[in-house]
Chain A
């Protein structure tokens, strides 16, 4: 089984020039928790999650309309190709400890997105006699991916700690 068979092809995206208000609106309307950020010619250059939005609002102390998406998004992103095997996707997710990967096709365009949940949902098929993905591999990968992250990796982590605000 290859990436293009499991990925979601119709992906909700935002543009590099958007504010976090627009990003949150897209997340609200599409009921998703993460969006690829596209630059010129539809090339994915970053990923932004609902947690990134929350933490940017916390770290800057400002309303979302005043925060550009690019200050909150993760710019070190990894991608896979539509023809890659599911095993190789697992290897990337495990090594990089990410749950979602953009799928990049011809011309560096975004073709889709694949998540660890796409793979978990199809675990039974993947565990069938025709596929070599071993349960131990899935368990190891899940454990690695779900291990708590280092918060200092957040793009705004280098900011000064915002002042503690007393309850209203």
Chain B
């Protein structure tokens, strides 16, 4: 199964010119926790999560409309292609320890997003030894979830929070 069959499309996005009030509004209305940040040509330049916004509000002590997406987003973005297999999405999530990955087409444009939840919802328990219903076994998804959820080791400081410094 390919990523394109499972991804959410179209995907909600925000831009580097938005403030955090607008980003939170997109997450509220779209009931999502992570939004890709795009530039004018639909190429992804960052990701922003509800936790990033929470931590920016804490570290800077400001209301959301007073802070910019570009100062808060994480600029290290892990992406996959719509034509990739689901296992590739799993590998990216496991190695980068992220739960949501933006999906690009061949031209590098954003076409969707695929989440750990999508994979978990479509995982099948292994029926008999070695048989996989759609290429993703429950055991494999469980291992990916476990890898993502390993506590982050970063000398006491959490990885979330984007570019925000400690107060």
Interface residues, chain A, with chain B CB atoms under 8 Å away? 21, 24-25, 27-29, 31, 33, 50-51, 53-55, 57-59, 61-65, 117, 120-121, 123-124, 127, 134-136, 138-139, 142-143, 146-149, 151, 162, 164-165, 167-168
Contact = CB atoms under 8 A, between A and B. Distances in A.
A168 B152 contact: no
A27 to B, nearest CB: 7
A51 B33 contact: yes
Given A21-B58, A149-B31, A138 B138 contact: yes
A28 B58 contact: yes
A143 B121 contact: yes
A121 to B, nearest CB: 5
Contact of B28 (A27, A58, A65, A134): A58
9 contacts: A31-B152, A54-B50, A57-B64, A58-B28, A142-B120, A146-B117, A162-B25, A165-B21, A168-B19
Nearest to A115: B149
A57 B138 contact: no
A162 B22 CA distance: 11
Instruction: Name B's interface SS.
Output: helix
Contacts of A27: 54-55, 58
A63 B50 contact: no
B31 A148 contact: yes
A168 B68 contact: yes
Given A24-B55, A54-B54, A165 B120 contact: no
A153 to B, nearest CB: 10
Interface stretch (B89-97, B106-114, B139-147): B139-147
Contact of B57 (A24, A124, A162): A24
Given A51-B51, A135-B138, A167 B64 contact: no
A53 B126 CA distance: 39
Contacts of B18: 167
A124 to B, nearest CB: 8
